[in-house]
Amino acid sequence: MSSTASAAYPLPSLSDGPAGLMLEEVPLATLAERFGTPTYVYSRAALTAAFRDWQAALAGRRSLVCYAVKANANLGVLSVFAQLGAGFDIVSGGELARVIAAGGRADRVVFSGVGKSRAEMRQALAAGIRCFNVESAPELERLNEVAGELGQRAPIALRVNPDVDPKTHPYISTGLKSNKFGVAFGEALELYRRAATLPHLRISGIACHIGSQLLDPAPVAEAAAKVLGLVDQLSAEGIVLDHIDLGGGLGIRYRDETPPSVAAYLAPLLAAFGDRREEICFEPGRSLVGNAGLLLTRVEYLKHGEEKNFAIVDAAMNDLARPALYDAYHEAVAVCRSDAPRQRYEIVGPICESGDFLAHDRELALRDGDLVALLSAGAYGMTMSSNYNTRPRAAEVMVDGGQVHLVRERETVEALYAGEHLLP
């Protein structure tokens, strides 16, 4: 696509065509006609290009890029990254099962999260995952017990909390000492000493992740410097690590943000890393999928009020929770040109909650039945969706050049209560 179109939309594979907006070579209107709405639509080209950016920035280094599955766990999306050679960062046994079902390699999986159950530990050990990112002293002891029961040694890294302010939304900040994540920096050395005495653990690395939607590499560089200092302390005590995991968090453009390129984001980290022998690992999620997807929805009604105009669409907060949860901004664009007058609309859904909004105060030319695309919806869109108001979750579609693949069928109402039972 042209550079002009690329600059116009956060989603790089979106462009204007004679039939309205197109993703890669496919008109969005065609997708709506074929699959209905609301539907999540992803670009394979955008997913691939985003991953290649990370590979290029790390070229020549011993490194591993582990896609953060929680951002978008669709099997079609995961299979794209598996084919590109990605590792995976998971936070549940369910995500591990998805990675393996999508063709991902268990020995390239790192298991993060503060609440790993015994069953999940057994599942991950049986699969042969690369590493557990341990987030507390009790988890360390439990993992040692579970691995002993299976006659194994569990590979571990401690997720260290460096108490660095990432300057992002408080709900997606994870590296402050007030957050639930990770081991306090001041306690990490002693906990590594304890881990070294446990017979069913094998110390493999160290991990750190301070938050999401980061637009400035400085806080990450500050955290990395603290982590590297701790690595050297450990080495002096004979605890030698194989890898250093500096997490993910690189932000994307939703509106007018100016996130750094992957290369610019990594530059200060790689400079601090120098020519160290340890493998360097990252866990990007949003930066790989956020601007590779959109939510396609259709206007049900245009409701003109005394103070506000409402475009009531068939997508809702159960489909895209980020606006209601974070007051997050998603660019809303009309899919096809219209001769309707341009007006300012609240874009809202059918759910019976005042918080059911997708976009505030957007100037659009719309008529009943028109299609609207909510952009930058590839991350934390479908993965955070629900069935509130007994609404089936959306379909998901992958565009690959001129080809279209249905990567998740739309749910049916009957499927939602199939596991429920009447009382006698």
308 with 80: CB under 8 angstroms? Answer: no
192 is in an annotated binding site: no
171 is in an annotated binding site: no
285 is in an annotated binding site: yes
**Nearest Cα residue to 41 out of 389, 355, 335, 262:** 335
Q: Which residues pair with 371 in a beta bridge?
A: 298
Other Cβ atoms closer than 10 A to 1: 16
25 is in an annotated binding site: no
* Range list of H helices, 179-330: 185-197, 218-236, 262-273, 286-289, 322-326
The continuous run of DSSP H or E covering 184 comes out as strand 183-184
Q: Which structure tokens are listed for 111? A: 């298991």
380 is in an annotated binding site: yes
9 is in an annotated binding site: no
- 379 DSSP assignment: S
345 is in an annotated binding site: no
Q: Which structure tokens are listed for 25? A: 């070579």
40 is in an annotated binding site: no
Q: Which residues pair with 404 in a beta bridge?
A: 399
353 is in an annotated binding site: yes
* Range list of H helices, 12-165: 28-35, 44-57, 75-83, 93-101, 118-127, 137-149
Question: Vertex 192, ends 189 and 198: CA angle to 5°?
Answer: 150
Catalytic residues: 352
Respond yes or no on whether the N-terminal peptide bond of residue 38 is cis (omega within 30° of 0). yes
303 with 309: CB under 8 angstroms? Answer: yes
Binding-site residue ranges: 249, 283-286, 322, 326, 353, 380
Which residues are part of a known binding site for pyridoxal 5'-phosphate? 249, 283-286, 380
Q: Which residues are annotated as a binding site for substrate?
A: 286, 322, 326, 353, 380
